[in-house]
Amino acid sequence: MGASESLHSRPLIGRLAPSPTGVLHLGNARSFLLAWLSIRSRGGQLGLRIEDIDGPRVRSGAIESTIEDLQWLGLDWDGEVQIQSDQRTRHQQVLDTLTAAGLAYPCVCTRSEVEEAATAPHESIGVDAPVYPGSCRGRWSSEQQATEETGRDCAIRLAVSEDAIAFEDRFAGRCEGRIHGDFVIRKRDGTPAYQLAVVVDDLDSGVTEVLRADDLLPSTPRQMLIYRHLGAESPDYIHVPLVVGPDGRRLAKRHGDTSLAHYRREGVSPEAIIGALAHGSGWVEEGSRCRPEDLLARFDLSSLPTEPMVWSDDLV
């Protein structure tokens, strides 16, 4: 067991958790390749969960095309594909448990009320919300009472007792992240928030390793706090750098079409994509063609560059 691994042994279980809000692009492909390699190179189990709870942003046909893209790349998973929205009852049950324990509470504040009342300046660490001053904490005995008295729908917020959580990320190292006040774990429209759903689903699937892109690093302390409130141990976290365009900015539409579907249409092989991603990770020569399984013996998190990977179409 390496020094960076947990001292007590837990089964090694990871997951791929795409959101079907668009087509898979190279940035997603890299994170999924690394998540797959990290688990498969050590003989662990890997699940596939489609995170489709963000209703309005889910694009029709995107679940099917996501699965197709992953298969085209040569990534596989164990067991049935899980669909997050199938777990709505379970999410609600956890929300009820947290609320009954006084660890979460109904909140009728609108976004503009929160912005007005927020006293602390919003520090920009990637969490897109003002710090909530706790106006509804302890104000209502139930969601029903809050709705009856105000005529408004309620969100549910987690009652946050600490300001920041420090943790050891297996790639990013020691991290300390702010929680930014009582945060929403169920939206006003009744949908569970990403922070809650991801924790409940990972917990229910026994996930012990989460490898994902480091744009989600600021969410990690919030998720760890939910684990704590549920009396559960968090998974090991591995946050890897994003893929950026030649201008150093996060890969996006401005860099042209970097969707896997686009390269596939252009006749680029999955081996060329995997080869380019492996080259960007420092494991193979430029221009190599390979399948994910060819990289199993070379996968080494400690040799992965800490800088974002710069993509250019010349790589394929």
Residue 17 interacts with ligand GLU (CB under 6 A)?
Answer: yes
Residue 290 interacts with ligand GLU (CB under 6 A)?
Answer: no
Whichever of 17 and 160 has its CB closer to ligand GLU, that residue is 17
Q: Burial letters for 116-128: b for 16+ Cβ neighbours within 10 Å, e otherwise?
A: eebeeeeeeeebe
Residue 198 interacts with ligand GLU (CB under 6 A)?
Answer: yes
Stretch that binds ligand GLU, among 12-20, 62-70, 103-111, 171-179 (CB under 6 A): 12-20
Q: How far is the CB of 313 from ligand GLU (least distance, A)?
A: 23
Q: How far is the CB of 224 from ligand GLU (least distance, A)?
A: 12
Task: Find tokens 């969410």 and name the residue.
Answer: 219
Could you give the angle at the alpha carbon of 281 between the alpha carbons of 289 and 23, nearest 5°? 75
Pick one of 40, 91, 212, 255: the residue that binds ligand GLU (CB under 6 A). Answer: 212
Q: How far is the CB of 211 from ligand GLU (least distance, A)?
A: 8
Burial of 256 (0-12, 13-18, 19+ CB in 10 A): exposed
Residue 216 interacts with ligand GLU (CB under 6 A)?
Answer: yes
Is residue 187 annotated as part of the catalytic site, yes or no?
Answer: no
β-partners of residue 173 are: 169
Beta strand segments in 130-204, E? 155-158, 164-169, 173-178, 184-186
Two structure tokens written together for 223: 């998720």
**Nearest partner of 22 among 58, 72, 51, 76, judged by Cα:** 58
- Distance CA(218)–CA(221), nearest Å, equals 7
Stretch that binds ligand GLU, among 15-23, 141-149, 227-235, 236-244 (CB under 6 A): 15-23
Stretch that binds ligand GLU, among 17-25, 65-73, 114-122, 290-298 (CB under 6 A): 17-25
**From 8, 174, 253, 254, the catalytic residue:** 253
Question: Which residues in the 19-48 window bind ligand GLU by CB under 6 A?
Answer: 19
Could you give the angle at the alpha carbon of 108 between the alpha carbons of 107 and 114, nearest 5°? 85
Catalytic residue set: 253
Q: What is the contact surface with ligand GLU in residues (CB under 6 A)? A: 17-19, 51, 198, 212, 216
